[in-house]
């Protein structure tokens, strides 16, 4: 399943993405999260050490998290700020911590947390504004390590067709 | 020198590892007469005061934990409210993480250099170090062993006004651990560390195994 989370308030982007995906015959679910109540991760570590797998913040993210753990691909549509994802886009990633456990292992030469679920969700970014594409691609590759998966790339919204070709 | 410090951790000050690091860091920094004022990004009531101080100061230090390979969403939300500075200001960072190896923090460090430029600031470098997850879990004496070395880095910063010296760069420690250390740590992860995490979780009132799958 392809999961697309639009953290911008521009639903026209979702409409275009949906139209392009329909042309390819693939199936995707698009969630409009631009106006959802999603708080930033508070770093409480409860999802690792107190209520394993469950975030202590009770807001709209739980609905998204339950979708992510069953998705083959997660695409985040985000506005950018200072060249990077804006806070709404970053919060989607920061709140992913419950998919990992507290337990550790080495993956190649680096420490990593052992994943909670078997599902591997590859991740990609579609962004608006003055994002630093080279950096966002580098960052998304690193971010994928937190999902135990691989990066699908970072694409300016003007090139969303390229992103959809990766779906 | 007067330094404006922003603790960029989303965790409340009482439980903030970054704050405990800053406690030791500022001890060293103030030895040569340097003064500072500190603000907490976790307290939204301070955001107006932080913005005001940000525009009034010339030496700014943001200390932050690595959240998914870069800056925490809450800190980004605050930074979105700032505008580009045209005057002379130096922006330095302390970047800390749970994972121990330097390589884990380099992607985040690269962004901080870009961020300083985008904000219109001179980049004063980033003090990079991991292996800080346990700060919150340790008693005071053990905690000092982890945070204590930051005092010397504070001393360096007090003298130089930045983190660009070789002493600060080498503070990170190994980029990756040698194979024999990884092998040893892997054993520890599967035995003592696992038991330690389980014991700690129990003390927090955890009723499920730590690899519990609530949504499967």
A1 contacts chain B (CB < 8 A): no
Tell whether B172 and B187 lie within a shared domain: no
Q: What is the pLDDT of residues B34-59, one digit of tens each?
A: 999 999 999 999 999 999 999 999 99
- Using an 8 Å CB-CB cutoff, list chain A residues near B213: 53, 116-117
Size of interface A-B (CB pairs under 8 A): 157
Task: Domain of residue B53: give its range.
Answer: 2-176
Whole-number percent of chain B with pLDDT over 90: 95
For A76-128, what is each residue's pLDDT tens digit?
A: 999 999 999 999 999 999 999 999 999 999 999 999 999 999 999 999 999 99
> B213 and B148, same structural domain?
no
Q: What is the signed CA dihedral for A47, B6, B22, A92, rounded to 10 degrees?
A: 20
Q: Which of A51, A87, A109 lies closest to B73 in CB terms? A: A87
Same domain, B81 and B168: yes
CATH number at residue B100: 3.40.50.360
Question: Nearest chain A Cα to B78, which residue?
Answer: A87
Q: Answer yes or no: do B113 and B206 share one domain.
A: no
| Per-residue pLDDT, A88 | 98
Q: How far is A144 from chain B (nearest CA, A)?
A: 9
Pair A34, B196: CB distance under 8 Å: no
pLDDT of residue B209 exceeding 90, the answer is: yes
B107 shares its domain with B191: no
Measured between CA atoms, the residue of chain B closest to residue A137 is: B107
Q: What is the 3-state secondary structure (H, E, C) of chain A?
A: CEEEEECCCCHHHHHHHHHHHHHHCCCEEEEECCCCCCCCCCCCCHHHHCCCCCCCCCCCHHHHHHHHCCCCEEEEEECEECCEECHHHHHHHHCCHHHEEEEEEEECCEEEEEECCCCCCEEEEEECCCCCHHHHHHHHHHHHHCCCCCEEEEEEHHHHHHHHHCC
Beta strands at A80-81 and A84-85: parallel, antiparallel or unpaired: antiparallel
* Angle, CA B116 vertex, CA B111 and CA B118 arms, to 5°: 90
Say whether both B90 and B148 belong to one domain. yes
Residue B6 pLDDT more than 90? yes
Q: How far is A140 from chain B (nearest CA, A)?
A: 9
Q: Considering only CA atoms, which of B51, B55, B24, B28 is closest in space to residue B39?
A: B51
Confidence of residue B94 (pLDDT cuts 50, 70, 90): very high
Q: Is B2 helix (H, G, I), strand (E, B) or coil?
A: strand
Q: How far is B212 from chain A (nearest CA, A)?
A: 6
Chain A residue numbers touching B68 (CB-CB < 8 A): 90, 93-94, 96, 143, 146
Q: Which one of 3.40.50.360, 1.10.3720.10, 3.40.50.2020, 3.40.1160.10 gives the CATH number of domain A2-165?
A: 3.40.50.360
Q: Which of B70, B56, B58, B74 is nearest to B16 (CA)?
A: B74
Q: Are residues B56 and B154 both part of a single domain?
A: yes
Residues B34 and B65 in one domain: yes
With CA atoms as reference, report the closest residue to A48 among B106, B180, B104, B193.
B193
Average pLDDT over residues B102-111: 98
Chain center to CA of A103 = 22
Give yes or no: residues B123 and B197 share one domain.
no
B82 and B11 fall within a common domain: yes
Question: What pLDDT is stored for residue B139 in this prediction?
Answer: 87
Residues of B in contact with A110 (CB under 8 A): 99, 101, 103-104, 176
Mutation target to probe the B interface, by most B beta carbons within 10 A, among A46, A89, A94, A136 is A94
- Give which of B1, B12, B74, B6 is closest to B38, Cα–Cα: B6
Do B185 and A106 count as a contact with CB atoms less than 8 A apart? Answer: yes
Q: Quick check: A116 and A90 in contact, CB under 8 A?
A: no
pLDDT of residue A92: 98
Q: Give the full edge-to-edge strand order of the sheet including A73-78.
A: A28-32, A2-6, A73-78, A122-127, A151-156
- How many separate domains does chain B show? 2
CB B83 within 8 A of CB B90: no
Pick the range with the lowest mean pLDDT from A19-23, B135-139, B153-157, B162-166.
B135-139
| Co-location of B64 and B117 in the same domain | yes
Task: Output the pLDDT for position B138.
Answer: 86
Chain A residues 43-82 within an 8 A CB cutoff of chain B: 43-46, 48-54, 65-66, 69, 81-82
SS3 for B133-202 is HHHHHCCHHHHHHHHCHHHHHHHHHHHHCCCCCHHHHHCCCCCCCCHHHHHHHHHHHHCHHHHHHHHHHH
Q: Which residues of A touch B107 (CB under 8 A)?
A: 138-139, 142
Closest Cα in chain A to B199: A49
DSSP type of residue B129: E
Do B91 and B192 lie in one domain? The reply is no
Confidence of residue B136 (pLDDT cuts 50, 70, 90): confident
């Amino acid at each position: 399943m392809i999961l697309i989370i639009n953290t911008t308030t521009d639903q026209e982007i979702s409409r275009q993405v949906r139209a392009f995906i329909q042309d390819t015959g693939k199936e995707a679910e698009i969630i409009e999260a631009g106006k959802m109540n999603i708080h930033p991760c508070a770093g409480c570590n409860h999802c690792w050490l107190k209520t394993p797998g469950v975030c202590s913040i009770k807001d709209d993210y739980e609905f998204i998290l339950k979708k992510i753990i069953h998705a083959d691909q997660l695409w985040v549509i985000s506005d950018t700020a200072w060249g990077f994802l804006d806070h709404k886009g970053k919060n989607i990633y920061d709140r992913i911590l419950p998919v990992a456990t507290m337990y550790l292992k080495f993956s190649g030469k680096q420490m990593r947390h052992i994943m909670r679920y078997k599902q591997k969700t590859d991740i990609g970014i579609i962004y608006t504004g003055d994002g630093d594409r080279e950096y966002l691609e580098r960052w998304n590759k690193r971010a994928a390590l937190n999902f135990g998966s691989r990066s699908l790339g970072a694409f300016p919204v003007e090139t969303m067709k390229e992103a959809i070709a990766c779906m | 020198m007067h330094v404006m410090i922003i603790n960029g951790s989303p965790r409340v000050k009482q439980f903030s590892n970054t704050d405990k690091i800053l406690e030791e860091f500022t001890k060293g920094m103030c030895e040569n007469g340097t003064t500072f004022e500190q603000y907490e990004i976790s307290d939204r009531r301070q955001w107006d005061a932080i913005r005001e101080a940000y525009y009034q100061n010339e030496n700014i230090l943001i200390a932050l934990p690595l959240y998914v390979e870069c800056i925490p969403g809450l800190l980004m939300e605050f930074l979105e409210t700032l505008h580009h500075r045209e005057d002379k200001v130096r922006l330095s960072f302390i970047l800390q993480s749970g994972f121990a190896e330097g390589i884990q923090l380099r992607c985040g460090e690269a962004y901080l250099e870009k961020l300083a430029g985008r904000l219109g600031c001179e980049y004063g470098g980033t003090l990079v170090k991991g292996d800080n997850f346990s700060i919150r879990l340790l008693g005071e004496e053990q905690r000092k062993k982890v945070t204590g070395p930051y005092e010397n880095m504070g001393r360096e910063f007090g003298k130089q006004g930045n983190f660009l010296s070789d002493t600060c760069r080498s503070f990170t420690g190994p980029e990756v651990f040698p194979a024999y250390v990884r092998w040893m740590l892997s054993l520890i992860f599967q035995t003592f560390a696992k038991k330690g995490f389980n014991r700690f979780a129990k003390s927090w009132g955890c009723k499920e195994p730590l690899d519990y799958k609530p949504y499967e």
